Amino acid sequence: MVPVFEALREIAALKMGVCVLIISCNFVVNSTMANTIKTTRAQESTNAIERLYITMRHLFNRGFYKPNGVSGESLKNALLQLRPEIYGSVAEEKSELNGLIYVLERLPEGIEECRFINLTSDEGYGKSHFTPIIPPKRRRNCYRIDAEQMNIEITRGRSDIYDILTHLTFLFIESEKICNRVLIEDSDKTIRDWKKLESAVKKNKLTQAEKEVAIIHTATILGRSFEDTMDIYTRFATKKRPERFLHIIYWLGKLAIEEELTGEKRAITFTSLLRERLGHHIHGERWAKTIKQVLAKNGLLRRPIHIISANMHSVMNSLFARNALQKEFPNTESLEIYEALSSSANTDFRNKVIKEASKNGMLSVDDTSGTNIDVQIFDLAKLGPAGCCYELDPNIPDDEKPVIFVMDYAFGEQAYETIDELLRPYGKNKNDMTFLNIKSISIMGKAGILEGGKGDLMIPSAHIFEGTADNYPFQNQLSAEDFKGHGLEVCEGTMVTVLGTSLQNKDILKFFHRSTWNVIGLEMEGVHYQKAIQSASKIRKSIAEDVQVRYAYYASDNPLETGSTLASGGLGTTGVKPTYLITDKILKQIFNT
């Protein structure tokens, strides 16, 4: 028996030797590969975006996180590795000022003062004594609960959560920069500049000299020049709060300093009701039901319907403005009228156009569902003899005349929720269903362009979804040829639907642009719209399979050009011409068919 055991030991030792040899060989091969294969900056950025979204989903399911905890640090590190164009110098020691403006225009006023930020569903705060705070560049209801807490209502889906968490992460990075610059190392004392800023913030009103002194100290804290800081101070100033910028910097630094010295942690929480409701189309279903009730009440359910996703003025103005304002603009080009209407000073002109539109069959449906998507319905059977600026074939019977349905812009994934619910049949049960007669769906709006400048046009032939191989080609009824000869550059190709516009950098965008995907621009809703349209027309059969689709975008920014990102400011009147040109082409096709 002994020789048998000896033989077995030798065999086992031999096998172990072979295993060691194989492992060693693998190690050599892998080491060699590691030395030769290097990831590109675009690949690293893609990985950073993926980490951001995986972390955000995890934190949402968990229900809370602390910005300076392990999960919060993971978000900050991923954002710093990504270095999005829109956040400028976020990864540098100096403070990023344009990015700060961009972020705070999309978050509720006063959020920099709040240690606790709660993301909630629509939980009835609108029926309380709290006054909603609505950010100027994002339609979301926010409520200041007390001195330390801000509640933000999430009614537009996951894209809203990603947007908020990304912007908050930027704020936490900037607040840490301030803390690191003003806290004296290995002590609980602050530098002289911080004390001077604190003193200025506590005063009710500053003289010109006191203001400039405070800005000089603030510039030192931020690592920026006096000129840069003065410029941002002016851009933040309002009539009620001229020193708003100083207060923002003070509170960003104050909360970070207190957290460092006293351990009073900031926290982001997600309510259980929000986690329970998200993804169930609650607000989209409520919105679509209200719309269909209005259509049914006015006898429009069975009429040919043309859906347009646009703003709440371009279609109405294109239809009625020239005729409504004949006296005010007798010999004026349409573009000048539209530019005048876009000015906040011309409320009387706008009211006159609205009155004319209402006389000629326009119904306005203000949102009460929480989607923040208002609607205009134009019944072309009710057009007066000289009411509309477009001509409809007079031989069409009234019950076959088209209805133009204009819905305000959706946000990210909300596009799928709203269109998916809208295209479903209307009725209480399966035996009492009315299928909507949807003839066309037109999507227009702003997007980032990869070759061109602000105001130029993009006509997509397909949408691809960032981070996946999902692609949605379609037959666009609009083409580049339709827009030539109007003084604008026109690009035709593929659009990328991104998870968030604030998470793009030059490396990723250059890869998109140079790849065989033929990418011309990026936006946030295209894939979601097309996914809903295709499922309704080709799988569920709730609308005709040959429904016409139109997509056209105009450039709000070129993220590949320094100084042309979204953080550099809005379009102003530059956006008027492309907006109304796209609207005109869509309306002409509708009226001619």
Residue 496 DSSP code: E
Q: How far is the C-alpha of 72 from the C-alpha of 83, rounded, in Å?
A: 17
The amino acid sitting at 292 is K
pLDDT (0 to 100) of residue 431: 78
For residue 593, name the pLDDT band (cuts at 50, 70, 90): confident
On the CB side of 252, CA atoms within 13 Å amount to: 27
Cα distances (angstroms) measured from residue 108 to each of 38, 122, 149, 238, 414: 42, 16, 12, 15, 21
Answer whether 218's CB lies under 8 Å from 206's CB.
no
Residue 566 or residue 213, greater confidence: 213
Q: Which helix (H) or strand (E) holds 119?
A: strand 116-120
Residue count (the chain): 593
For residue 563, name the pLDDT band (cuts at 50, 70, 90): low
Give 26-62 pLDDT, tens digit per residue. Answer: 444 454 444 567 888 888 888 898 899 999 999 999 9
Answer whether 434's CB lies under 8 Å from 303's CB.
no
Q: Which range, of 80-89, 366-375, 555-564, averages the lowest pLDDT?
A: 555-564
Matching residue, tokens 């800005």 = 215
Q: Taking the model in full, what pTM does it have?
A: 0.88
Q: How far is the C-alpha of 74 from the C-alpha of 54, rounded, in Å?
A: 11
Max mean pLDDT among 38-42, 401-405, 513-517 falls in 401-405
Q: How far is the C-alpha of 9 from the C-alpha of 17, rounded, in Å?
A: 12
Give 265-321 pLDDT, tens digit per residue. Answer: 999 999 999 999 998 999 999 999 999 999 999 999 999 999 999 999 999 999 999
Q: Alpha helix (H) ranges present in 388-442? A: 414-422
Strand order in 64-65's β-sheet? 64-65, 267-270, 116-120, 149-153, 142-144
pLDDT (0 to 100) of residue 229: 97
Token pair belonging to 575: 């956006």
Above 90 in pLDDT, residue 550? Answer: yes
Above 90 in pLDDT, residue 452? Answer: no
Hey, which residues does 379 pair with through a beta bridge? 403
| Percent of residues, the chain, with pLDDT higher than 70 | 92
pLDDT (0 to 100) of residue 430: 76
Above 70 in pLDDT, residue 9? Answer: no
Q: Which range, of 78-82, 214-218, 509-513, averages the lowest pLDDT?
A: 509-513
pLDDT (0 to 100) of residue 13: 44
In a 10 Å sphere around its CB, with 0-12 CB exposed, 13-18 middle and 19+ buried, how is residue 449 labelled?
Answer: buried
For residue 489, name the pLDDT band (cuts at 50, 70, 90): very high
The amino acid sitting at 180 is N
Task: Give domain limits for the chain.
Answer: 44-273, 281-592
Token pair belonging to 58: 């995890």
Reduced 3-state DSSP string for 58-74? HHHHHCEECCCCHHHHH
Average pLDDT over residues 257-267: 95
Q: How far is the C-alpha of 461 from the C-alpha of 478, rounded, in Å?
A: 9
Above 70 in pLDDT, residue 10? Answer: no
pLDDT (0 to 100) of residue 196: 97
Residue 412 DSSP code: T
For residue 183, name the pLDDT band (cuts at 50, 70, 90): very high
Hey, which residues does 551 pair with through a beta bridge? 443
Answer whether 450's CB lies under 8 Å from 513's CB.
yes
Token pair belonging to 226: 């006096």
pLDDT (0 to 100) of residue 539: 96
DSSP for 288-342 reads HHHHHHHHHHTT-TTS-EEEEE--SSHHHHHHHHHHHTTTTSTT--HHHHHHHHH
pLDDT (0 to 100) of residue 186: 87
The amino acid sitting at 349 is F
| Percent of residues, the chain, with pLDDT higher than 90 | 77
* CATH fold of 281-592: Rossmann fold (3.40.50)
Q: What CA dihedral angle connects 92, 94, 98 and 104, to 10 degrees?
A: 100
pLDDT (0 to 100) of residue 3: 45
Answer whether 453's CB lies under 8 Å from 559's CB.
no
Average pLDDT over residues 499-506: 81
Which residue, among 314, 322, 380, has the nearest Cα to 352 in the 3D structure? Answer: 322
Average pLDDT over residues 359-366: 95
> Angle at Cα 247 formed by Cα 243 and Cα 248, nearest 5°?
115
On the CB side of 141, CA atoms within 13 Å amount to: 19
Q: How far is the C-alpha of 572 from the C-alpha of 311, rounded, in Å?
A: 15
Above 70 in pLDDT, residue 331? Answer: yes
543 contact partners, CB below 8 Å, separation of at least 6: 423, 435, 436, 438, 533, 536, 537
For residue 217, name the pLDDT band (cuts at 50, 70, 90): very high
Cα distances (angstroms) measured from residue 342 to each of 147, 337, 547, 584: 37, 9, 33, 17
Give 413-448 pLDDT, tens digit per residue. Answer: 999 999 999 999 998 777 788 999 999 999 999 999
Answer whether 119's CB lies under 8 Å from 270's CB.
yes
Answer whether 266's CB lies under 8 Å from 66's CB.
yes
Which residue, among 68, 52, 100, has the nearest Cα to 503 in the 3D structure? Answer: 52
Cα distances (angstroms) measured from residue 265 to each of 72, 114, 256: 12, 11, 9
Matching residue, tokens 């040109």 = 581
Helix and strand tally (H, E) in the chain? 18, 15
Token pair belonging to 406: 């204009």
Q: How far is the C-alpha of 542 from the C-alpha of 422, rounded, in Å?
A: 10
pLDDT (0 to 100) of residue 1: 42
For residue 22, name the pLDDT band (cuts at 50, 70, 90): very low
> Angle at Cα 306 formed by Cα 360 and Cα 282, nearest 5°?
105
CB count within 10 Å of CB 99 equals 25
pLDDT (0 to 100) of residue 135: 96
Average pLDDT, the chain: 90
Query: For residues 464-503, b (16+ Cβ closer than 10 Å) or e, as one string?
Result: bbbeeeeebebebbbebebbeeeebbbbbbbbbbbbbbbb
